Amino acid sequence: MNFIVETSARHVHVTQQDLETLLGKGAALTPKKDLSQPGQFACVERVDVVGPKKTISGVSILGPVRPATQIEVSLSDARTLGVVAPIRESGDINGSAGIKLVGPAGEVEVAQGLIAAKRHIHATPADAEKLGVKDKEIVKVRIQTAERSLVFEDVVVRVSEKFALAMHIDTDEANAAGASGEVYGEIVK
């Protein structure tokens, strides 16, 4: 069974408090586009991510607001910014890199929260059963493209009723796979 492989470009998740610091008191996120995972959306609002070496301007905020601010970048981005991004699952930000966010109304020094996302597959329990995998299982996924086919190892499966079946990779990984347009993956043994 094949599944879609989506590329996550650099993005930011914010707390309500950080959102108000960045965008002004009482600020709310304005949904622009629904994402594949139910309830998740890209926002109109953008912020600058300011590293010790360089700034990456106009980075998308993804909604809804979360209990912790988290900045997901590629390792290419991290090098541009001048920080070391650990490879982590979303939400696992303890001891990850700090960074500065700058919005139109103010700035936030985030003490930790910058990560490179560990490549992963979102699946419902029914999807997982069809794929023959379990929550937290580490699998290998082959992606076939015209010029840069590859097999990603170290892909973590995440299973929840709240998910929709999709694999997420970052832009470095998408580029390494020559993935553009609609790309599909397949679990290999």
Q: Does 76 bind its own copies (CB under 8 A)?
A: yes
Asked whether the beta carbons of 40 and 62 are under 8 A apart, the reply is yes
C-beta closer to its own copies: residue 39 or 146: 146
Say how far residue 67 (Cα) sits from the centre of its chain.
16
C-beta closer to its own copies: residue 18 or 173: 173
Close Cβ partners of 175 (under 8 Å, ≥ 6 residues apart): none
Q: Does 149 bind its own copies (CB under 8 A)?
A: yes
Options 53, 130, 134, 148; binder of its own copies; rule CB under 8 A: 148
Q: Does 87 bind its own copies (CB under 8 A)?
A: yes
> In the chain, what is the straight-line distance between the N-terminal and C-terminal CA atoms, in Å?
13
Options 27, 62, 177, 187; binder of its own copies; rule CB under 8 A: 177
Q: Does 151 bind its own copies (CB under 8 A)?
A: yes
Q: At closest approach, how far in Å is the CB of 140 from its own copies?
A: 8
Q: Does 58 bind its own copies (CB under 8 A)?
A: no
Q: Does 157 bind its own copies (CB under 8 A)?
A: no
Q: Please choose, out of 13-21, 31-39, 40-48, 150-158, the segment that lies near its own copies by the rule CB under 8 A.
A: 150-158
Cβ atoms < 10 Å from Cβ of 25: 8
C-beta closer to its own copies: residue 124 or 171: 171
C-beta closer to its own copies: residue 19 or 73: 73
Q: Please choose, out of 28-36, 73-81, 101-109, 129-137, the segment that lies near its own copies by the rule CB under 8 A.
A: 73-81
Binding footprint of its own copies on the chain (CB under 8 A) = 74-76, 79, 87, 118-119, 147-154, 171-173, 175-178
